[in-house]
Amino acid sequence: MGKKTKVALAIAAASAAAWAGSKAVSKPQRRDDKEVLQTNQPIVLAHRGGSHLAPEHTMPAFEKSFSLGVDGFEVDIRLTKDEEIIVFHDETVDRTSDGVGFVRELNLDELKQLNFGYNFQDLEGNFPYKEEKVEVVTLRELLETYPNTYINIDIKDGPDTYEGSLMPSKLWRLIEEYNAENRIVVTSFFSEQVDRFNLYAQNRVALGAGENDVRKAFTAFTSQFGHLYHPKVDVFQIPIKHGVVSLDSARFIAFLGKLNIPVHYWTINDVNTIHHLLEIGAKGIVTDRPDIAIECIQEYMEQKK
């Protein structure tokens, strides 16, 4: 046996020993149940209220989706100049309203003067809200209007901004004020924002995975050391693909399921993809077309009877 072969065997033996040792001392810790995530069938979350059916993040969108029977809403939040939390995606108001400027540079009264349905184009190519003023919605208004509805909240202001530094504490105080702990999921592209929020919430609110959480989980899943993965979030809301990596895997869903972590996929608007995700074990569909997604889940549940 050559020297290189002996070295390779020694490395392999050491790796096997390390794996066996880690299995013996590390047991995956399941996340505790969170009331908002305890469902009997896959759920539908209306993305930004259902942004293909009505202007995103506006009351017409929320009202339409709610009337269709969605399980909840997926919304983004940002902080205004006067430190009000609004449900809004972009840094600026240009794309969705008849105004211009950064959200952080405008106060709530100024934002209320704008028409956030101005640029909305419906499925027939019309602009039905161009002459009908549609106001920006605060998170407070959303919590009050839908007091029993699941709301997935995505913190958009980054942790290195002034607005982002305030958001975790302000969000927690608002959730606590409305006793909404059991119907909210808080997530962010920035895992640090989820961590900061949980310093206040202390696991009393369900947490969604940020980019770093997804990366760590998928790395653990594809390695021999999945048993070393200890999650700190309660739900994964992910795209089908991140870069060149496909995340729509039945085995990945099962890996997270063993840790009591459901997987929701965004933003899914076509029938075939929805059916595919339901078949591999997805527990939620985040969609701009809740009308389509609800019908798909109803068909899926009928087939399972």
Is residue 125 situated within a structural domain? no
Q: Is the residue at 111 inside a domain?
A: no
What's the confidence (pLDDT) of residue 5? 52
> Is residue 240 included in any domain, yes or no?
yes
> What is the average per-residue pLDDT within 271-294?
98
* Mean pLDDT of all residues in 162-187: 98
Q: Is residue 47 part of a domain?
A: yes
* Terminal alpha carbon distance of the chain: 61
Distance CA(157)–CA(85), nearest Å, equals: 11
118 lies in a domain? no
Q: Does residue 103 lie in a domain region? A: no
> Does 27 have pLDDT greater than 70?
no
Q: What's 71's domain CATH number? A: 3.20.20.190
Note every long-range contact of 245-250, with CB atoms under 8 Å and residues 24 or more positions apart, other chains counting.
245/218, 247/214, 247/218, 248/276, 248/277, 248/280, 249/280, 250/280, 250/281
What is the pLDDT, as a whole number, of residue 304? 83
User: What are the DSSP calls for 235-283, one per residue?
Assistant: BEEE-SEETTEE---HHHHHHHHTTT--EEE-S--SHHHHHHHHHTT--
Strand-pairing partners, residue 208, are: 235
| Cα 266 to Cα 284: distance, rounded to the nearest angstrom | 9
Centre a 10 Å sphere on the Cβ of residue 35 and count the other Cβ atoms it contains.
10
Average pLDDT over every residue of 145-170: 97
Query: 264: domain range?
Result: 29-91+138-304
Per-residue model confidence as pLDDT tens digits over 51-107: 999 999 999 999 999 999 999 999 999 999 999 999 999 999 999 999 999 999 999
- Tens digit of pLDDT for each residue in 118-132? 999 999 999 999 999
Q: For residue 285, which of 63, 46, 53 has the smallest C-alpha distance?
A: 46
Whether residue 8 lies inside any domain: the answer is no
- Residue-wise pLDDT for 223-269, tens only, equals 876 677 999 999 999 999 988 889 999 999 999 999 999 999 999 99
> What is the total count of domains within the chain?
1
On whether residue 107 sits in a domain, the answer given is no
